[in-house]
Each structure stands twice: as C-alpha cells, then as structure tokens.
Structure 1
Amino acid sequence: MNEVYLSIGTNIGEREKNLQQAVQALMEHSAVRVKHVSSIYETAAVGYTEQADFLNIAVAIETKLIAREMLDICQSIENELGRVREIRWGPRIIDLDILLYNQENIDTESLIIPHPRMHERAFVLVPLQEIAPSNGIVHEKATHTLQAFNIEQEGVKLWKKVDSIEEFMGN
C-alpha cells in the first residue's frame, strides 16, 4: 500500500461542507482508504489576497494506486464538486493537492512530489504535522519552516478541532 498525504482547501460557499464532500468522495473510492483527517484550520489567502479566507485540512490515505492515478482522482473530485480555474491562487470551491506519496520524489510535467511549495506554506504544514508528526519528510520540512513562521501572523488559526474521521464527517 502507498501512503499518501493530501491538502484540501476551500473558500467558496459552505466551506466545511465542501471539505466533508471531498473527504466523502475519497472514502467512496474503492482504491482509497482514508486513515486520518486533521483539524480544520482557517487561513488567509496567499498569492491573490482579494478573496475570502480558506478552510484547510490535511488527509492521510492508503491506496494501491500509482501517483498519477491518485492525481486523476483528486482532479475528478475537484470537477465533481464544481472547481473552476479562473485566477491562479484565486477563489475555489475545492482544491486537492498531493503533498507526499510514500517517500518518493516525482517530477513530471503534470505532477511534482513532494509538493514544491508545501514547505513555504504554514496553512499546509500545520494540519499536515498534526496527522503525520513522525513522518520524516513532514518533520524535516515542518520543524524548520514552522519555527521560522509566526503562525498567527501567517493567518493560520484553528477553526475546529477534530479527533477522528467520524467527528470530521459529523457522525
């Protein structure tokens, strides 16, 4: 089985529901097993800042799929939930990014893993470190980077504490 970490974010509409629908779509896929979901963090927009704040989570999954197939699933979920790409780093109903795929380094035209900007983004590292504190890559990237960040200045705030997938899904 492959160990995969995703970042999921949203800043349009019913943000928590959007996150839940994305996780539900992952759970419904026969080749994906959702293992952990982080707490929900509210974060200020990065890049294009004239937009609403985001809700962000990290998700740990297991899958037999290769990385490219996992990317296809993520993009399919984005499309199903109504993702429209108009402005780079602009508002979005949902965004699923593959952060890590095992301990692999992948660099293709359509996919770079580890995610090339994850070490620059507290809104990715904070939830990721919550669900993967003993992962070597996460520890290496998060420890150094998060020490340099003032998390509150970076706009990352705990929005809702989550202790289980069931709690996240509202069950």
Structure 2
Amino acid sequence: MANVFLALGSNRGDSWGYLTEALKRINRLPGTEIVAFSPVYFTFPYGVTEQAEFLNMVVRVETILKPLELLDEVKNIEKETGRQQRARWHEREIDIDILLYDDLEFHHPRLNIPHAELLKRDFFILPLLDIESGIKDPVSGIFLRYLEITKRKPYIKGLSKKFFELKNGLICLNEP
C-alpha cells in the first residue's frame, strides 16, 4: 500500500459540506483508507486574491491505487461533489490535490508528484506537518519543518475549532 497525502480546499458555498462529502468519498475508494486528518485551516486565497477565504486541510491515506488512477478518482470526486470548472486559482466548491505519494518523484503531463507548488504554499505544508512532523521533500531531502514559509505563514489566517475524525469507519465533523 502507498502512503499518500491529499490536500483538500473549498471556498464556495457550503465549504464544510463539500469537505465532508469529499472525505467520505475518498474513504470509499477501492483499496483506500484515510488514516490521519490535519486540523482545518482558514486561509487567504492564493493567486487570485479577490475571493472568499478558503478552508484547507490535508489527509493521509493508504491506497492500492497507482498515481494516475488516484488522480482520476479524486477528479471524479470533485465533479460528483459539485465542483464547477473555473479559471485557475479562482473559487471552488472543492479542490483535491495529490501532494506526496510515498517518496515517489513522478512526472506526467497530467500529474506531478510531489505537487509542483508544495514548497510555496503554507496551507499545504503546515497541515502536512500536523500529521507527520518529520516529513521531507522527496526531491531535495529537506525537512519541511525547516522551510522559511512555515515561520512566515503568508496564507494561513487561523485554525478552525471544528475537526474531522474517523469513528467506526465513518467520517465525522466535530465541534468542541
């Protein structure tokens, strides 16, 4: 089984609902199980700044799916969950990105692993570190926790008190 980190984000409509539905669908993928959740972060938009703030998080999954199979599955989940196609970096109902897949370096016209923007986005790195503090960039070998962006946090606005967890095989959204 492969150890994979997926980033999820939403800033349009019922973002909590979109995240919940996407997580449920990810957990139902063939040979795939969510094994860890990061906290949910409130973040400023990246790229196009004149839009609502995002909810962002990362999950760690174990899967038998190969990288392109997993990409097809998460793109299908985005579509089934209600994502509408818009220009790059514009608002979205749900966005799911493959950040890391084991220690694999994979380059294909449809997919780059690690994610091409991984080291530039604190809303990818900080949730990753919440799950696994000793994680390294597979290309450079640098521990992500030592990157300058983890100290500056240009896109992180704050943490949500709501959190996701797995209870008896079900995805649950909890509020303290």
Common fold: TM-score over 0.5: yes
Question: What is the distance in 2 between the residues matched to 1:155 and 1:56?
Answer: 9
| Letter aligned with residue 128 of structure 1 | L
Task: Identify the residue that residue 98 of structure 1 maps to in structure 2.
Answer: 98
Say how many residue pairs are matched. 169
| 1:109-164 residue CA offsets vs partner (Å, 9 max, x unmatched) | 000000011110011111111012122338723421334x422x433311235373
How many angstroms apart in 2 are the aligned matches of 1:146 and 1:168?
31
User: Does 2:128 match 1:140?
Assistant: no
Could you tell me which residue of structure 2 aligns to residue 110 of structure 1? 110
1:41-60 correspondence to structure 2 within 5 Å: 41-60=41-60
- Letter matched to residue 75 of structure 1: K
Matched, 1:150 2:148: no
Q: Which residue of 2 aligns with 1:165?
A: 166
1: CA distance, partners of 2:81 / 2:21 = 8
CA offset digits 1:47-69 (Å, max 9, x no partner): 01111000001000001111000
In angstroms, what is the RMSD of aligned CA positions?
Answer: 2.0
Contact (CA 8 Å) 1:119, 1:142: kept in 2 or not? no
- Equivalent in the alignment of 1:2: 2
Q: Read off the aligned partner of 1:146 and give its amino acid letter.
A: I
- Contact 1:122–1:156 at 8 Å: present in 2 too? no
TM-score (norm 1): 0.90
Unaligned runs of at least 5 residues, structure 1: none
Q: Give the stretch that moved more between structures: 25-34 or 92-101.
A: 25-34
CA distance, structure 2, for counterparts of residue 17 and residue 160 of structure 1: 16
> What is the distance in 1 between the residues matched to 2:136 and 2:79?
32
Instruction: Encode CA deviations 1:28-83: one digit per residue, 9 max, x unaligned.
Output: 22321110111100001010111100000100000111100010111000000111
CA drift of 1:87 comes to 1.5
RCO comparison, higher one (Cα < 8 Å, 6+): 1
Query: 1:27-106 residue pairs with structure 2 within 5 A?
Result: 27-106=27-106
Are the aligned partners of 2:134 and 2:143 in contact in 1 as well (CA < 8 Å)? no
